[in-house]
Amino acid sequence: MRRIGLFDPTRERLPVSEPVKTVILGATGSIGTQTIELALAMPERLRITGLSTNTRIESLRDLVLQLKAGDYTETPQLAVVDAQAHARAQAMPELAPHLLPPGKDGLPALAGQVDADVVVNGLVGAAGLEPTLAAAKAGRRIALANKESLVIGGDLVAEALAQGKAEIIPVDSEHSALAQCLSGRDYAEVDKLILTASGGPFRGWQAADLASVSREQVLKHPTWEMGHKITVDSATLMNKGLEIIEAHMLFGVSYEDIDVLVHPGSIVHSLVLYVDGSLMAQLGFPDMKLPILYAIAREAHWPLGGQRLDLAKLGQLVFEAPQVDDFPCLRLAREAGLAGGTAPIVLNGANEIAVAALLADKIQYIQIARIIEEALAGIPQARVDTLEDALDVDRRARTAAEAIVDDMTP
Ligand SMILES: NC(=O)c1ccc[n+]([C@@H]2O[C@H](COP(=O)([O-])OP(=O)(O)OC[C@H]3O[C@@H](n4cnc5c(N)ncnc54)[C@H](OP(=O)(O)O)[C@@H]3O)[C@@H](O)[C@H]2O)c1
């Protein structure tokens, strides 16, 4: 019998009361803006009660104005994390009366205290963990896009969920697909989870050819339009590595039973292999609105416009084995997940620093994996029991990775 993870596909699914009051963490990002588009398209089903940004207050004001134009009489509560951006927002009449306190405290307040049925966590990076914990402790339903929460603090999130009635529903398209394929099934029947990967812009390239790729090539994802960090992670396959850890945390399946399959079209979003050899898959046009809405609707299929998949027109689906030797981040992430303790936190923190360095044109693409590997080698493996431990390891990983980047920078 398998252990049930943070997400229990066998639990009783209760209908949601509508309209669903929704807080969006990371409203100015790719997941956030797509959630707002859903809210504007179906105001009778979805109402926004809280929004956050880090720095992009002009975009936040645009979102607030769009909601106003779309019949919102009350502006949602707003969290602006960056202190300078918060100070500037206080001078904006559309934002000022609705602002929560500046700094990191605003996000847990938004996640745990503002009136909401669901918290969409569309934050990027480790910054998502504390708000995930706050939402879990407050008993909220969490539509979780921020996979980093589970990579660096999966066990802490499990503890917080165990305290009450909170639940997590995955937004990542692969994990949403797995949730759909597992829905109502007996876990004893599951043999393997199979995460599909587009392969990113360098699918088919050899390690030697990757030495001189440009930042622009890295940012050209073949099938999805997303924020910069996840786009870089998709090019290194770190995104799939983080998703392996996320799948382990969500579904409680052991690492050796989580496979990766390259599928360049991003049509099959993931599969479950059952013990009798039956394979269940979820297919759809690559559009994040579908898994976002599925999570908000508490795993119901609500009507959604947009492109429909025409399989006859598509003709064929292509699959390949992943190039583990050419894309070392996939191996590093799997090893870090298996090691547990400090390793996934170091992996994630070093990766965030390396990705930021690549985006700032300080390092080359192939140096990302080296930075992570060196950071992992430099920080001794240990247990992580508390949030303070996790945040301390995250800080140490970032400091170590920054020093490695400095050494690499001419
Ligand atoms: N985009 C997708 O299609 C997709 C698909 C699957 C999973 N995901 C996952 O969803 C999450 C969000 O991805 P995304 O592509 O939407 O990212 P994104 O476009 O970069 O947006 C990130 C959001 O988080 C805010 N933010 C960034 N750093 C912050 C910090 N330190 N403190 C508080 N807020 C911060 C940003 O504010 P500013 O606007 O001020 O920077 C922005 O609102 C990631 O974990 C990603 O892996 C995304």
CA distance 336 to 325: 16
Distance (Å) from CA 123 to ligand 1 centroid: 4
Percent of the chain with pLDDT over 90: 90
Identity of residue 219: L
pTM, rounded to two decimals: 0.97
Distance from the alpha carbon of residue 143 to the mean position of ligand 1, in angstroms? 14
Give residue 3's pLDDT: 59
Nearest CA to ligand 1 atom 7: 172
**What SS3 state is found at 313?**
helix
Q: What is the pLDDT of residue 1?
A: 36
The neighbouring-strand residues paired with 258 are 193
Q: Whose CA is nearest to atom 47 of ligand 1?
A: 230
- Tokens 């307040």 locate to 109
87-111 average pLDDT score: 94
**Confidence check: pLDDT of 31 > 50:** yes
Please give the residue that has the higher pLDDT: either 263 or 307: 263
Cα(31) to ligand 1 centroid in Å equals: 7
| Ligand 1 centre distance from Cα of residue 397 (Å) | 21
Give the per-residue pLDDT at 409.
Answer: 85
Condensed to tens digits (0 to 9), the pLDDT of residues 221-233 reads 988 889 999 999 9
Indicate the average pLDDT of the chain: 95
Residue closest via CA to ligand 1's atom 22 equals: 29
Residue 30 C-alpha to ligand 1 middle, in angstroms? Answer: 7
Q: Which atom of ligand 1 is nearest to the CA of 125?
A: 45
Question: What secondary structure letter does DSSP report for 211?
Answer: G
User: Which atom of ligand 1 approaches the CA of 31 most closely?
Assistant: 16
Write down the pLDDT at residue 71. Answer: 83
For the stretch 213-217, contacts whose Cβ atoms lie closer than 8 Å and that sit 24 or more positions apart, written own/partner, are 213/364, 213/365, 215/358, 215/359, 215/361
* Residue 4 CA to its chain's centroid (Å): 20
Average pLDDT rounded to a whole number, residues 117-131: 98
Print burial letters for 47-58: b (CB count within 10 Å at least 16), e (below 16).
bbbbbbbbebbe
CA 387 to centroid of ligand 1, rounded, Å: 21
* Higher-confidence position of 3 and 358: 358
CA distance readout (Å), 284 to 59, 173, 243 = 30, 10, 19
Q: Is 194 helix (H, G, I), strand (E, B) or coil?
A: strand
pLDDT digits (tens, 9 = 90+) for 162-203: 988 899 999 999 999 999 999 989 888 999 999 999 999 999
Mean pLDDT of 125-143: 97
Is the pLDDT confidence value at 327 over 50? yes
- Ligand 1, closest atom to CA 54? 40
**pLDDT at residue number 386:** 97
Pocket of ligand 1 (CB under 6 A): 26-32, 53-56, 81, 122-125, 127, 145-148, 172, 224, 226-227, 229-230, 288
Question: Within 10 A of 215 (CB to CB), how many other CB atoms are there?
Answer: 14
pLDDT of residue 251: 95
Q: What is the mean pLDDT of residues 331-348?
A: 98
